[in-house]
Each structure stands twice: as structure tokens, then as C-alpha cells.
A and B are shown apart, each in its own frame.
Chain A
């Protein structure tokens, strides 16, 4: 379970609080759509959940682990072990192959490496399996920068899912995709999260996507800093 209590966040002490949430929780395996216009703190929320941003005040618990009590390096390790991240675009390192990009989280996390090798004979095999599940040919030797945006986002989704992290956070991952590609991508992502039991927090300003998720949340309604 993910729980936020009396959360306050600001970029630095001179600036105003941008995120203030009294109480918000997500069940394990729940796939939540967080909606709101740009500037309402969606990205900040994801930064808090993935342990990049340190909150000034309040409690952030993910699967029973208290992120607010952790040092920066512990939060980095926590993210490596437990969180998969998908950005809006430019998710991939241009100098690595598609499979190497997908395998990247296993290079920084022992637990994810273990889980990946338990699921398949090797990290590479698991990466190929996930890429295949996302509807891409694992054999493609094209540089990742030559993939279409839709393909790049699916590689990013495979990377977020490798090693079965507890939590997958996605920051407007479909905003660069057109209608059909968008729906196909979301279907695949939801399906794979269900398969691995990962909790999904998907933020977007596009309210039309909400009905595909277990629950929809409007961030402006719970963020009292606005």
C-alpha cells in the first residue's frame, strides 16, 4: 500500500509549497489514473513517490517503507529496487541497444536482477520476453534513436516492468502518441502491470483515459497547495 499523510513539498526553502496532501492512499496492485492540468504538481507527486524528491514534512510510505526517514542514497536504492519509471518521451539511452536499455534497472538493483533471472534464464532473456510482450521484435538491431516514439515508449514500459518492481510510475507517457497507439499502449501497460502485480500510478492531463483504470484521481482536488 502507498500512503501519503500530511505531505508538504517545496523545491527549496525560499519557494512556496507546491504539493500539500493531507491523506491519500493506493492499494497494492491498484492501477490509478492521476489527472490534472499542467502545473498542478503531477510530476512532483511522482518524484515524491519514487524517492527523488525529499519532502519537508509528512509521511510517505510505499509498501511499508517510510521514504521520509530515508537518506538520499537510501531513496536511490529504494527506487532502483522498487520503482519503474516511464517519462513522457526520450526515455532511452541512445548509446545502448534496445535490450540493454530494458535491462538497465537490473544493473542498479540486486533484487530486480534476481527477480528477472528467476522469471527467465537471464536478464537479457527476460528483457527480450518483455519487449515481445510489448509487441516489439526483440531481434531489432536498429539504434533506439531510430525507433518510432510509440516503439520507444513500449521499450520504456518494458524497462519499467523488468525485475517486477512494486510500483510503476508513468509521467504522461502517451502524450506524444496518437489515439490508436495511445490506447494500445495503455492496454499493454495495464495488462503487464496486472501480470506482475505492480501498482501503477499514471499521471496525465488527458481525462479521457481515466475509464481504462481501476480508479481515477483528480490531483487538484487533493492538492491543497493550489
Chain B
């Protein structure tokens, strides 16, 4: 087989323009395939890690998907709230390491306002256990301090020290402005690629303060408490919308889950975020699977292009085949020659494609990270990627079989003499 291998390389080098174009087509397909696979994996992982390190999410009784959507993705509303007393009870459970209360229901220019505590910035993790970082400013130091997600600050062009007012309600249901109690931007978070980027964070006391003279979604007539007056008051929330819980030991998660779902004093719903996130991904991940299917067809197209190139070459190479037959090559050698050429082209395409992928990753990674907060790894190909590469190699060999068989038959008929 060695002479055939040498001949395959020499013959391809002789037709280097078409060979290089074919390799370019295959390598672009491979880059696309592996790139999409990598981004897909990262997207899935990033999605699964929208909240990482949170063991349980608890809210008032309702659907688990709904709970996940409003507590993590800021989509939809809670139908009811849980009482502060219950929150305190859960937070003081010996199995609980930390807890983050969340109070939702207000907005500002379409961005959700999330009332929470300092613990949010201390314990919340996203991606691979990454902490929230501040691009500018600090966490809350006053009742009316707000910390903006990266996208909020960018889209509204707010800087630390700017002030704004919060609207009561969300979206279409948004009603009056809490005009009398403006908030000041105390900090801006670094881009995370999660819903945190689209959230305005304020203290629970801030949420309480703007609603202190409100009842049932409307201002209490005649009651007017100014911002300065409110600062001196003891602000204790009466409800929270949801709680993120970190446990001391993850092994306690199922026990805690049962305990909370069967809570006697108030109807609660508790979920393991990973499980519900996985369910949600199954529902929204169709596009991602579709994308990888499309890229696989791109690779197949480039391999068909290679088959066409080899096929078109056969006619012009009948003389070459006849010479090979005259020096003792059998039709099997001719078949092997074509197959090895296909294999060499495919392999070169894969290697160039991978080089291209890593070059693109090296250049594009910081840009993607800054733009959408997605962290793409530069790791060596994993199992699924190696599997794809293997699949491309097999497909390349199969694509080479057709021209190989045709050359086999042709050289059988032609022998040493080319008849036209």
C-alpha cells in the first residue's frame, strides 16, 4: 500500500489548485461543525449554569417551571408571595448555609427590578461557579441604592451616581411611578451572559420603602411619607417572591425539598434548579439541535464536492491509470489510490478545519465574552467532538468510494490502452 500512498500524495500535489480548494471547503465545513458543537455545548452548559451553586429555589405554591422562569429568568409573574416569617424560618434552618430573598413586581423602562439582600452579591454564582463582579461602584449602602446589570447600564446609558424612578408593576400592568422616591445607581455589574444583565437590583428595604404609602397597587390617599422620613423608619418586608437557597451539604437537598413542598404553615413550591433548567432546555433547545444538523449537512456538501472533484478527475487520468496498470498495478490498486486521495483530502480538511477553529477561538473568545458574556473554552476536542471528527472521516471515505469504484471499473475496461 505504501507505493499507492506516495502516488496519492504526488498525484494530489500535481492537481494542487483543485485539491486545495477541496481541502478549503472541507475545512470550512469542519470548522463550522466543530465551532457550532462547541458553542452549543457552552450554551447548554451556560444555560444549565444560569444559577450555579443554588441548591433549591422556593416560592409560593405554583408550577415549578413558573417558579424557575420568574425567579431566574425574570419571565412572567408569581401568582402569590410567601410571607417574610416563612422566609426567616427557612433561612434559619440548620441545613441552610445561605439564602437570598427575591422580591419582584416592579420595573424601570421595561427592565425588572429585583429586591434582594447583600447576600445576592456574595453567594450568587453563574457559569462555572463565577461570582458577580462590579464593573463600577459597589453594592447597596443606602435604602435607595441600585445595582444595574451590564445590559441595563449599557442600554439606558446610566452611570454610577445617576438617579431614576421605579415604576409600579411590570410591562402592560405597569401603572404609576414611584416618583417621590428616586433611586441612585451605586454599582454596575460585569456582563454575565445571564438574566442578571437585564436586572436592576435594589435592597429589600428599598422595595419596602417605595411601597410604604401604597396599598394593593395604589397610593394610599392622603398618606405621604417622604424619602428622608422613610430612611429613619424600621423597614421590614412583609413578603418575598422567592428564595434561592444554598445548603451546607448537597445531600440534604432532597430532604429539604420534601420538607418545603410539604410545609404545613403555608403552601410552598420548592425545586431543584438543575432539574427544571434541564426540562426547559429540552423545550427551547430545538434550534440548537437544528443548527448542528444544518452544519453536518454543510460538511456532507463539502465531501460531495470532493467526490465530484475526484470523479471529474478520472476522465483526465485514464492515461495515468493505464501507466499504473502497465507497471503491474491491479484495478484494486487504482481503487485504493482514489480512496487514499479522498482520505488524504478529508484528513487535511479536518486538520486545517481544526487549526482554523482554534485560531478563530483565540481571536473571537474575548469578543464573544465581552459581547454576550459567553465563555468558550479552548480545550482540546472532547468526546463528542472526536466522535464528529470520526464521523467526517468515515463520510469522507464513503464519498471516495464512488469515484474509486468508477476508476476501478474504468481501469478494468481500459487495461493498458486508453480507448476513446
Q: Tell which of B13, B319, B326, B417 touches A43, judged by Cβ atoms closer than 8 Å.
A: B417
Determine if A108 and B10 form an interchain contact, defined as CB atoms under 8 angstroms apart.
no
User: A61 contacts the other chain (Cβ, under 8 Å)?
Assistant: no
Q: Please name all residues of chain B whose beta carbon is closer than 8 Å to the beta carbon of A105 when the two chains form the complex.
A: 327-328
Q: Please name all residues of chain B whose beta carbon is closer than 8 Å to the beta carbon of A159 when the two chains form the complex.
A: 327
Using A76-B329, A76-B330, A93-B323 as known contacts, say yes or no to A47 and B416 having CB atoms under 8 A apart.
yes
Using A91-B323, A93-B320, A96-B10 as known contacts, say yes or no to A73 and B330 having CB atoms under 8 A apart.
yes
Chain B 379-420 residues near chain A, CB threshold 8 A? 412, 415-417
Determine if A87 and B328 form an interchain contact, defined as CB atoms under 8 angstroms apart.
no
Determine if A90 and B327 form an interchain contact, defined as CB atoms under 8 angstroms apart.
no
Shortest Cβ distance from A142 into chain B, in angstroms?
Answer: 15
Determine if A108 and B333 form an interchain contact, defined as CB atoms under 8 angstroms apart.
yes
Using A90-B319, A95-B13, A108-B333 as known contacts, say yes or no to A52 and B327 having CB atoms under 8 A apart.
no
A-B contact number at CB 8 A? 69
Bound-state Cα–Cα, A107 to B6, Å: 10
Closest A residue to B322 using CB positions: A87
Closest A residue to B6 using CB positions: A107
Determine if A85 and B326 form an interchain contact, defined as CB atoms under 8 angstroms apart.
yes
Bound-state Cα–Cα, A136 to B323, Å: 21
- Tally B residues with Cβ within 8 Å of A: 26
Bound-state Cα–Cα, A100 to B6, Å: 11
Q: Tell which of B326, B333, B412 touches A87, judged by Cβ atoms closer than 8 Å.
A: B326
Bound-state Cα–Cα, A85 to B324, Å: 11
Bound-state Cα–Cα, A108 to B328, Å: 6
Determine if B332 and A73 form an interchain contact, defined as CB atoms under 8 angstroms apart.
yes
Determine if A77 and B323 form an interchain contact, defined as CB atoms under 8 angstroms apart.
no
Determine if A52 and B3 form an interchain contact, defined as CB atoms under 8 angstroms apart.
no
User: B325 contacts the other chain (Cβ, under 8 Å)?
Assistant: yes
Q: Which of B3, B327, B333 has the most CB of A within 10 A?
A: B327
User: B14 contacts the other chain (Cβ, under 8 Å)?
Assistant: yes
Q: Please name all residues of chain A whose beta carbon is closer than 8 Å to the beta carbon of B329 when the two chains form the complex.
A: 76, 80, 108
Using A47-B416, A52-B415 as known contacts, say yes or no to A95 and B330 having CB atoms under 8 A apart.
no
User: A94 contacts the other chain (Cβ, under 8 Å)?
Assistant: yes
Bound-state Cα–Cα, A72 to B413, Å: 12
User: B66 contacts the other chain (Cβ, under 8 Å)?
Assistant: no
Determine if B417 and A94 form an interchain contact, defined as CB atoms under 8 angstroms apart.
no
User: B41 contacts the other chain (Cβ, under 8 Å)?
Assistant: no
Q: Please name all residues of chain B whose beta carbon is closer than 8 Å to the beta carbon of A104 when the two chains form the complex.
A: 3, 327
Q: Please name all residues of chain B whose beta carbon is closer than 8 Å to the beta carbon of A94 when the two chains form the complex.
A: 14
Main secondary structure on B side of the interface with A:
helix
Per-residue B-contact encoding for A69-101, CB less than 8 Å = 1, 0 else = 000110011011101010100111111100010
Closest B residue to A75 using CB positions: B330
Q: Please name all residues of chain A whose beta carbon is closer than 8 Å to the beta carbon of B327 when the two chains form the complex.
A: 80, 85, 104-105, 107-108, 159
Bound-state Cα–Cα, A50 to B325, Å: 10
User: B11 contacts the other chain (Cβ, under 8 Å)?
Assistant: yes
Q: Please name all residues of chain B whose beta carbon is closer than 8 Å to the beta carbon of A207 when the two chains form the complex.
A: none
User: A53 contacts the other chain (Cβ, under 8 Å)?
Assistant: yes
Closest B residue to A162 using CB positions: B327
Bound-state Cα–Cα, A96 to B416, Å: 19
Shortest Cβ distance from A160 into chain B, in angstroms?
Answer: 9
Determine if B11 and A95 form an interchain contact, defined as CB atoms under 8 angstroms apart.
yes
Bound-state Cα–Cα, A96 to B333, Å: 17
Closest B residue to A165 using CB positions: B328
Determine if A80 and B323 form an interchain contact, defined as CB atoms under 8 angstroms apart.
no
Q: Tell which of B10, B323, B332, B416 touches A52, judged by Cβ atoms closer than 8 Å.
A: B416
Determine if B328 and A81 form an interchain contact, defined as CB atoms under 8 angstroms apart.
yes
Q: Please name all residues of chain A whose beta carbon is closer than 8 Å to the beta carbon of B323 when the two chains form the complex.
A: 87, 90-93
Bound-state Cα–Cα, A107 to B1, Å: 9
Bound-state Cα–Cα, A28 to B123, Å: 95
Shortest Cβ distance from B420 into chain A, in angstroms?
Answer: 13
Determine if A47 and B14 form an interchain contact, defined as CB atoms under 8 angstroms apart.
no
Q: Please name all residues of chain B whose beta carbon is closer than 8 Å to the beta carbon of A93 when the two chains form the complex.
A: 7, 10-11, 320, 323-324
Bound-state Cα–Cα, A104 to B3, Å: 8
Bound-state Cα–Cα, A100 to B333, Å: 18
Q: Which of A90, A107, A159 has the most CB of B within 10 A?
A: A107
User: A109 contacts the other chain (Cβ, under 8 Å)?
Assistant: yes
Closest A residue to B418 using CB positions: A90
Q: Which of A52, A72, A109 has the most CB of B within 10 A?
A: A52
Bound-state Cα–Cα, A91 to B319, Å: 9
Determine if A107 and B415 form an interchain contact, defined as CB atoms under 8 angstroms apart.
no
Q: Please name all residues of chain A whose beta carbon is closer than 8 Å to the beta carbon of B325 when the two chains form the complex.
A: 52, 76
Determine if B416 and A85 form an interchain contact, defined as CB atoms under 8 angstroms apart.
yes
Q: Tell which of A46, A72, A92 touches B330, judged by Cβ atoms closer than 8 Å.
A: A72
Determine if B417 and A79 form an interchain contact, defined as CB atoms under 8 angstroms apart.
no
- Leading 9 A-B pairs by shortest Cβ distance: A80-B328, A107-B3, A95-B14, A108-B328, A76-B330, A85-B326, A52-B415, A95-B10, A105-B327
Q: Would you give 25 A-B contacts (Cβ < 8 Å), ordered by A?
A: A43-B417, A46-B416, A47-B415, A53-B415, A72-B330, A73-B330, A76-B328, A79-B326, A80-B329, A87-B322, A87-B323, A90-B323, A92-B323, A93-B11, A93-B323, A94-B14, A96-B7, A96-B10, A104-B327, A105-B327, A105-B328, A108-B3, A108-B328, A108-B333, A109-B328
Contacts A80-B328, A100-B10, A159-B327 supplied; 7 other A-B pairs, CB < 8 Å: A47-B415, A77-B328, A77-B330, A90-B323, A93-B7, A108-B328, A108-B333
Give the interface of A toward B (CB within 8 A).
43, 46-47, 50, 52-53, 72-73, 76-77, 79-81, 83, 85, 87, 90-96, 100, 104-105, 107-109, 159
